[in-house]
Structures are given as C-alpha cells and as structure tokens.
Structure 1
Amino acid sequence: MKKTLGLLLTLLAAGAASALELKSADVHNADDYPTVAAVRHLGSLLAKSSGGALTVKVFNKGALGSEKETLDQVKLGALAMTRVHGATLASMCPKSLVPTLPFLFRSVAHQRKVFDGPLGEELLQACDHQGLVGLAFYDAGARSLYARRPVKTLADARGLKVRVPQTDVWVAAMAAIGANATPMPIGEVYTGLKTGLIDAAENNLPSYAGFRHMEAAPVYSRTEHAMTPDLLFIGKRVWDKLTPTQQGQLREAARASVQLQRQLWDAAEAQALAAAKAAGAQQVDVEREPFRQAMAPVYARFVNTPELQRLVKAIQETK
C-alpha cells in the first residue's frame, strides 16, 4: 500500500512539473475587455482539454510592455503569447497589410466570413517567417468618421482635419477623400476636437463613447472605412515545444475563443451606441461606394505585388 501511494505521489508530482503555463499579454486595461476575456476563456478550455498540462495566464493593462515590445518578447521565446492590433504588423509581415486596407470589407459579416475561411487561415500564417504563429483573429470594430456635422459624401469630407493613427495607409486614405490627415495620440483627441485643432476623428463605437469623444463630435457618420482586426499569436519557439496533440488543443481553444470574443464585442458596440445616443450624439448612414472608389490611388500604391493583389481580389470576391 505504501509503495502504491508513493508511486501515485511521484506520478502526480511529475505531472505537475510537466504542466506548462503559457503567459499571454494584452495592453487593454479592463479585465472584461473582449480580447482579455476571450484569451482567459481560451485558457479555461485549454486547461480542460489538455488535462491541466497547459494553462494560460493573461497579463493585461500593458503589464508586460507595449504591443511592439510584447511581439519582440514572443519572437524571442521570453513570452508565450500576445494579442496585438493588426496595424502593428503591416511593416513586418507584408500580407498583414491587406486586412488594414480602407473599404476592403463590405460589412462585418463579410469580414468574419473571410477570416473564418481559407483566406483567414492564409492571413494567420503571414507572420510565420517572423517566428509568430497566428492563432486567431479577434474583432476590433468597424472604424467610422465623427465630427460636429455629418460626413455623408466626399464633398462633406473635403478639407476636414481628421485625426488618424500614424500609418502611411491612413494618411493616404484621408488624402484620397480630400481630407487632411492629422496623426496624434488617442489621449489628445478629445482636447483637439474641443479646441478645433482637428475637425474630426475616426474610431470604433466603444472608443468613441469610452473616450467621450461624442461630447466634442456629436455626429457619428458610419463610413465603416476600416475593419482592421486584432490577432493572437504564440511564439514559434514555444509552439515547437508543444506536442502535435497539444497544438491541436490550443488551436481548437483559440477557435472557440473567437466566438465568445465576437459576442462580447457586439454587446460592447451596442452598449457604446446607447451611451452615445444618451449623451445626445447621433449616427448617420453614409453612401460608401463613392468613398470606396476614391481609394483607387491608395490601392495602387500599397497593393503593389501580385501576391497582395491576389489576396485583395479574393477577399473582394468572397460572397
């Protein structure tokens, strides 16, 4: 009996010692933010499917650094996983530029269909050569223009000083519709709108309401010009340490986490819209086709290889 008990304790200790905790980073502050909650859900599913051999611990609030810093840590193997915005990747993984392009997706439903199919699988592999194994696309919302007045037509956009993130694609996109791109940190946008330093900004609904931009720009014009996703990566150095079975368990948990993340994101958008309307903001519909056609010079400049052109065409033709 003593020998049996001793053997059992030894086996349990060995199992505990072989358990691997995958540390994952996210810069968002809220513990219930959709991507943070999704990766925690992934961890719960993975712990169950792996019998406790694999667990995930999420460090959010930027505790492990900026998105660029966590990507570097993942590539080196110092950190297992990280969630980053797609715009962070465009300069290092050429195919990753494609989902950031303006007016590429016709709707959120179109975007999700692309990401759930073979094109999504191909795009998830865009950073393999950088030592980053793509696990999931998460929603980061459709970005739209907001200002003191409606922006329904190209004529309405002409001459507006619009805050955009510091990326070449978005500076070019604003120029294509006749607006003046004004890159600035998100924390300065509220004051910029209030003081007239900028006339407009663009972002998704949760950011619009969360940063209280509706107080300074009460008209949200649904251009839905960008649907750049978030992505979840695991470093190849850590990935290669997993057995094929464990890799399959991780991918399955990641797929399941996408469904939860989308539900949480949709709920966050509905809540943000209600908050904006309660504060007196209004949303207006936009005829998007003229805006899309105006992007021709942007696509000519940035979609400049046969491979990128093939991907864009395939996405546009996805029904």
Structure 2
Amino acid sequence: MNLNTIISVLLLVLFVGLTISCKQTSDVKVMYLGHTLPQTHPVHKGIVEFQKALEKKSNGSLKVKIFPDAQLGSEREVLELLQIGSVAATKVSAATLSNFVPEYNVFGIPYLFRDKQHQFDVLENEIGKSILEKGDEFWLRGLCYYDAGSRSFYTSDKAIRTPEDLEGLKIRVMNNQMAINMVNSMGGSATPLAYGELYTAIQQGVVDGAENNPPSFVSSNHYEISKYYTLDQHSSLPDVLLIGTKYWDKLSEQEKSWVQQAADESAQAQKVFWNESVEESMKVARKAGVEIITPEKSLFAEKSKSVLENFVNEYPELEPIVNQIKNNN
C-alpha cells in the first residue's frame, strides 16, 4: 500500500471514529464504499443508484459515502480494507475477486457465455447467487453483479480479423493467468502490464495492442493510438458489488434486506447506463477513424478451447459450476 493510500485510510479511520462518537445523537449508519473508477463511468452511476435506493428504503437511516477514483487504493487494497472492517463496501472486477474467492475464476473462461442474455440469466439465478455467497468465508459478501461488457482486442498497426492475425503480436493483458493463457492459446504473446502504463506502451511499440470493453477503450484514450478494434468478445467478466461481512454482520435483518434490495435495483439501472455508454463509446471511436471489425467469433472460440481444458484440470472442484453455466437455458 503506497503512502497516499495509507494517508487516505488514516483519514478515513479518523472520519469513521468521529462519526461513531456522534452516534449518541444520531441513528444514522454510514456505509463507506471505495472503488477505482471515475465518476463518469457507468458502473459508478450504478453505485450512485444503490446509494439513492438505500437511503430511500431506509428513510435516511442508512447512507452511503462513495470514494471513487481509487482514493482508497487499488481494487486489491480496498478488498483488504473490507476484510479488516476499515471500509464497508466496494466494487471490483470478478478477475480481481478470483484471487480471494476461487469460484469467480469461472467467469474468465473464454466464450463461456453464449450471449448477453445467457450471461445475466446465469448471474441472476441460483448459480450466480451461490457464487456471491461463496465470498462469506473470506469476509467478502457479494451483493450483485454489474455489467462490465465484453473484452475485445484492439491494436495499433495490424488488424485482427482471424486468430492467425494475433501471431507475433504482443498483447497487454491483466496480471491474470487465464487471460495470459487465452491470448497465448490464440497465438499471441500475452504481456501483463499495469493499466496506467498501457497508453505509453502502445504509443512506443512496447506492446502491439490490448483487450478491453468499449467504454474503457475510449475513456482511457487508447482509441487515439489504436487503429483497429476487433469485436471478438472473448470474455465477459462482470463487476461485483461487495460488502464486508464485518459490516454486514452488524446490520439488523431489516437493514440487510434494504441493502440487498437496493443492490438488486441498482444492478438493473446499471445495465441501462452500460448500454448507453457502449453506444456512445463506439460513436467516439468511429469518429476518430478507428476501424471496427466484427470477426467470426467461432474461430476465436475454437482456438481458445485449451483454456477451458486447462482450467478444469487445475480446478476440478469447479467443473460442476462450469457445466451448470454451459447447460443453463
């Protein structure tokens, strides 16, 4: 944890302490929620809906104080703050959460979901809910999933129309083994790199491209230095709204019900924000001269089959969940 994060946390702890000292004259409970996204992001807008819904349902007795823009640290750092009870809630990618709760690894399997409808049918039925509950033993209770779109490849100089076009290309990925295996299985050279370094890395040719969803492609300004965006949609990792069990366990049954209801409502609102953001982002990219390529996705899915095979070998205990998802109609 860097110095700025430590200072932010100390200030937060002081703030919490002052709030607690005032509890004798107030019945209001404040939930501190930190995340890494900018306030223009559609997921942040979903969190604001959660904030509004919870305050309304509780008649003002439960409030949410949001700390966006990584004010409290990286996704991993904020998760650790939840575990020790310094922060109440957060939003993180399922990829980051998989380092704490193994079941979330299944969402990174390439082409696991047939389409968007299949994905949210799974996330919002008993399969998805059971995975949210798996985090309890790690002090990280899942409340709902937020749409984070599908990740696709973008490159600076060479268009990717088939998997063969990836051969010899250095593609930036998250520091996640499944993402690394996926790019390598398609013939590319997976290159883990900090997201903040990516713009310069593409600009200077350190990497040939990367992969992400449309809003991130545009909000990061990577569209300025990437000529091609290939909508192969290889993975659909959701974001997850979480509450620390140390905070959750202090709530009454009525308060827990309000929190869950507010989360569920915010998830539906966030889908609309996401779709609007994708539409606007694609307009921006096209206007900037980016060539939008719609490839034959089955070719990419076929090349990446080994990722699923390796995953099942490594996590045999998670194979039943994978089969449940694939067979969900």
TM-score by length of 1: 0.91
Supply the distance in 2 between the matched residues of 1:51 and 1:75 (Cα, whole angstroms).
28
Structure 2 contact 108–179 (Cα < 8 Å) conserved: no
Counterparts of 1:277-288 in structure 2, within 5 Å, are 277-288=286-297
Number of equivalenced pairs: 306
Q: Give the corresponding residue for 1:184.
A: 193
Q: Give the corresponding residue for 1:88.
A: 96
Among candidates 140, 143, 147, match of residue 139 of structure 1: 147
Structure having the higher Rg: 1
In the alignment, is residue 58 of structure 1 matched against residue 66 of structure 2? yes
Structure 1 contact 15–53 (Cα < 8 Å) conserved: no
Q: Give the corresponding residue for 1:239.
A: 248
Q: Give the corresponding residue for 1:311.
A: 321
In the alignment, is residue 271 of structure 1 matched against residue 283 of structure 2? no
Q: Give the corresponding residue for 2:164.
A: 155
Q: Give the corresponding residue for 1:227.
A: 236
Code of the residue aligned with 1:312 in structure 2: it is V
Shift in CA distance, 227/16, structure 1 to aligned 2, threshold 3 Å: farther
> Deviation digits for residues 263-309 of structure 1, max 9, x if unmatched?
11111111110000000112111112222222232222223344311
Q: Give the corresponding residue for 1:101.
A: 109
> Deviation digits for residues 204-240 of structure 1, max 9, x if unmatched?
1112122222232211111101111111111111111
Supply the distance in 1 between the matched residues of 2:105 and 2:260 (Cα, whole angstroms).
23
Q: Give the corresponding residue for 1:4.
A: none
Structure 2 contact 171–189 (Cα < 8 Å) conserved: yes
Q: Give the corresponding residue for 2:219.
A: 210
Give the gaps of 5 or more residues in structure 1. 1-12
Supply the distance in 1 between the matched residues of 2:113 and 2:210 (Cα, whole angstroms).
20
Among candidates 117, 125, 129, match of residue 117 of structure 1: 125
Supply the distance in 1 between the matched residues of 2:128 and 2:176 (Cα, whole angstroms).
23
Supply the distance in 2 between the matched residues of 1:157 and 1:216 (Cα, whole angstroms).
18
In the alignment, is residue 261 of structure 1 matched against residue 232 of structure 2? no
Give the gaps of 5 or more residues in structure 2. 1-21
Question: Shift in Å at residue 57 of structure 1?
Answer: 1.1
Question: Shift in Å at residue 159 of structure 1?
Answer: 1.8
Supply the distance in 2 between the matched residues of 1:66 and 1:154 (Cα, whole angstroms).
33
Q: Which moved more, 1:269-278 or 1:200-209?
A: 200-209
Q: State the identity %.
A: 32
Runs of 4+ off more than 4 Å: 13-16
SS of alignment partner, residue 125 of structure 1: helix
SS of alignment partner, residue 18 of structure 1: coil
Report the aligned-residue RMSD. Answer: 1.8
TM-score by length of 2: 0.88
